Amino acid sequence: PGVGVLAVRKGTRWESPWPADERESGRTPGVVNLPAVVAAAASLRAAAADAAAEATRLAALVDRIRERVAAEVPDVEVVGDPVLRLPHLVTFSCLYVDGEALLHALDRRGFAVSSGSSCTSSTLRPSHVLEAMGVLSHGNVRVSLHRETTGADVERFLTELPGIVAGLRAEAGVVGL
């Protein structure tokens, strides 16, 4: 508590939002909380040290989602490049399924997923990013894996998803896919 880290590219003009005084070259008022700064630096080092291993672990889980969703759920489009992507994100679009209904059904089963692209998550407008990619901007699911996501979590998601999608399609009168 009491310290934050702001990375500013060298050469970038930056003006502190706080009133300046003669200490710390006018960057911050008052005395720096040195123990908190050292703790923040140690935390940053620790997070950076295992970032590559965590990215590899999550990328393997995303690969599993990409492969199984495409193979086991009819009329689904997995979005994005299979290799040149963020290691923890996967988006797929389900034809003939209302996106909000799918999100709610997944939520009822304990899966916290999103829809659209993250850059439009605070609006009700369709994702301009997904539209620019030429994919469905409705009926899609964005799965963001995190440090505590396990292989068992992904397996449960992959086991339940086909039935959830089939059930929603049946409710909408879309059968025989």
Q: What is the pLDDT of residues 60-113, one digit of tens each?
A: 999 999 999 999 999 999 998 999 999 999 999 899 998 889 999 999 999 999
Q: Which helix (H) or strand (E) holds 55?
A: helix 51-72
Active site residue 94: no
Question: Can you tell me the distance from the alpha carbon of 136 to that of 159, in angstroms, rounded to the nearest whole number?
Answer: 24
The catalytic residue among 119, 170, 172, 177 is: 119
Model confidence, pTM: 0.74
Place of tokens 């009168």: 173
> Bridge partners of 89?
144
Domain boundaries in the chain?
59-172
Of 55, 54, 95, nearest to 75 (Cα)? 95
**Domain spanning 59-172 has what CATH number?**
3.90.1150.10
